[in-house]
Amino acid sequence: MKPAALAIVALALVIAVVPQFTHCKAMTAMSKHATGATTMTVTPMRCYWSARAEIGVGVPLALSGVLLFLSRRKESRRFLALLSGTLGAVAMLVPTVLIGVCSSPTARCHTVMRPTLLAAGGLVVALSVAALALNELRPAGAAGGDSAGDVVASRAPVAAS
């Protein structure tokens, strides 16, 4: 469970960071006017917006991974594994369905950013499913799985009760 949570945190960082260095930045286009003068316009590409959106996926995914690592309640881990899996799926959907990348098959966003996000998102989904399965198979109260409370509650002084 804990190795899976740590791997999810690492993959979340990949999802959030890699696109920021592999999108095509912006399309610069030269235009020629009737006067003969040329101007240059700068338009952000689709992959730029995908990269921005992946920050919004990667950060909560990292947080979810950290909480999955710390959490001791079976119900919390179940919810966090489901959340991580959903965010992993969204990380895959952003460059494919929701926003997309540049249409050119040789563009850097197409050859590096998209496959990296698909691989990382796919791994997050697989790890989340594995974490969920392990959580469900593990009996309540097993090692690392104190169902009586989360990490904060489990550290409460015995005398207080």
| Paired tokens of 131 | 């974490």
Q: Shortest CA distance to 77 belongs to which of 86, 69, 85?
A: 69
Residue 28 interacting with other proteins (CB under 8 A): yes
The residue range among 4-12, 27-35, 50-58, 76-84 that interacts with other proteins, by the rule CB under 8 A, is 27-35
Among 20, 86, 96, 111, binds other proteins (CB under 8 A): 111
The nearest distance, CB 106 to other proteins, in angstroms, is 7
The residue range among 31-39, 51-59, 62-70, 75-83 that interacts with other proteins, by the rule CB under 8 A, is 31-39
Q: Shortest CA distance to 46 belongs to which of 98, 83, 1?
A: 98
Residue 154 interacting with other proteins (CB under 8 A): no
Among 85, 87, 110, 121, binds other proteins (CB under 8 A): 110
Output Rg (C-alpha) for the chain, integer angstroms.
Answer: 21
Residue 119 interacting with other proteins (CB under 8 A): yes
Neighbour-count burial for 19-43, b at 16+ CB within 10 Å, e otherwise: beebbbeeeeeeeeeeeeeeeeeee
First and final C-alpha spacing in the chain: 30
Among 41, 75, 136, 142, binds other proteins (CB under 8 A): 41
The nearest distance, CB 128 to other proteins, in angstroms, is 17
Q: In the chain, count of helices (H) and strands (E)?
A: 6, 2
Partnered with residue 100 across adjacent β-strands are none
Q: Is 102 helix (H, G, I), strand (E, B) or coil?
A: coil
Residue 30 interacting with other proteins (CB under 8 A): yes
Residue 151 interacting with other proteins (CB under 8 A): no
Chain residues binding other proteins by CB under 8 A are: 27-32, 38, 41, 103-106, 110-112, 115, 118-119, 122
